[in-house]
Structure 1
Amino acid sequence: MEGPTNISDVIEKYLKGILADEEQVEIRRSDIADQFNVVPSQINYVIKTRFTIQNGYIVESKRGGGGYIRIEKVNLLADTDVLDSLLSDVVGDAINQHDAYAIINSLFNDGVLKEREANIILAAIDKDTLAVADHEVENTLRARILIGVLNRLRFED
């Protein structure tokens, strides 16, 4: 089994390990930075790139002396506000393949989608399937497909 290869992977694994036991984790950026002997901006980078809504996380931060960062693992379909935020803020009118794949992967990891269903959706939103020379049109089509799928899943029992 391959382990983390860089400090960002190590920090991500550490935080996800905490989240495996708890629904949310509240950290002080400087404490984690000290623990891993990195600058606080490295912690920001990991949180901004690895703990996104499309990956199934909500991040809240409070700045200042007693500041903290709260990371919460969420089920994208279980909370209407989270899903609405995902649809409007992340998917919107267009979405790139990487972010769309992250959403489907998160739904698979949450047990919302079975492997076969996830693979079918991934095939439908793949750049080779959409085969449009204009990236803006491709991202718009991908967003429409993804919104249709997410809205259908939202109303399933």
Structure 2
Amino acid sequence: MEEKSISDIIEKYLKSILEDDEKVEIRRSEIADHFDVVPSQINYVIKTRFTLQNGYLVQSKRGGGGYIRIERVNLIDDVDVLDMLISTIGDSISENDAVTIIQTLYAEKVITHREGDLMLVALSKDTLAFSDRRVADQVRARILISLLNRLRFES
């Protein structure tokens, strides 16, 4: 039987809450107490599993009345979210991060399976076989941003 890590369990729990609402506010310490983990474990899950590339917008407020707000967003219908995603990509993106974005676009039914496959091929390390990985990551970012900008105009 496959064992799940505590991070997987916390992620599943938070996603189950998000099934009922597209937005949820949590207190990091309460979730940490619930799973008997340190609060930094909750931070780790949120920073790695609830990213804009994965279709989530995260906001936090520190202090006694602080909270973490996680919101499921539609990547293409909301131009501001698309702009933030492009800003997140910046001048360079790894193949793994590009794949995550494409998988999210497919999961959100923004692109078809075929379109996703074509995007993956265009952004793969085999296609962008530069001797310098930094150059490949920069070219990958330019291509992905161009593709995302083109999606903005799809109906």
CA offset digits 1:29-63 (Å, max 9, x no partner): 01100110000000000000111111111101011
Runs of 4 or more off by more than 2 Å in structure 1? none
Letter in 1 for 2:26: I
Q: Per-residue displacement from partner, 1:18-39 (whole Å, max 9, x unpaired)?
A: 1122111110001100110000
Q: 1:112 aligns with which of 107, 110, 113?
A: 110
Aligned to 2:122: 124
With normalisation by structure 1, the TM-score equals 0.95
Query: Which residue identity is paired with 2:92?
Result: A
CA contact (8 A) 1:4 1:10 kept: no
Question: Cα 1:15–1:4, aligned 2, differ >3 Å: closer, same or farther?
Answer: farther
What one-letter code is carried by the residue in structure 2 that aligns with 1:97? E
Q: Is the 8 A contact 1:27 1:70 kept in 2?
A: yes
Matched to 2:148, the amino acid is L
Contact map agreement 1:29 1:43 (CA 8 A) in 2: yes
Q: CA deviation at 1:114?
A: 1.3
Amino acid at match of 2:69: R
Q: Percent identity?
A: 63
Instruction: Tell me, yes or no, if the aligned pair for 1:12 and 1:46 is still in contact at 8 Å.
Output: yes
Partner of 2:51: 52
Q: 1:42-121 to 2 correspondence within 5 Å?
A: 42-88=41-87, 90-121=88-119
Residue in 1 aligned with 2:31? 32
In the comparison of the two structures, how many residue pairs are matched? 155
Question: Which segments of 5 or more consecutive residues in structure 2 lack a partner in the other structure?
Answer: none
Query: How does the TM-score come out when normalised to structure 2?
Result: 0.96
Q: 1:66 to 1:3 in 2, by over 3 A?
A: farther
Between 45-54 and 77-86, report the one with greater CA deviation: 77-86
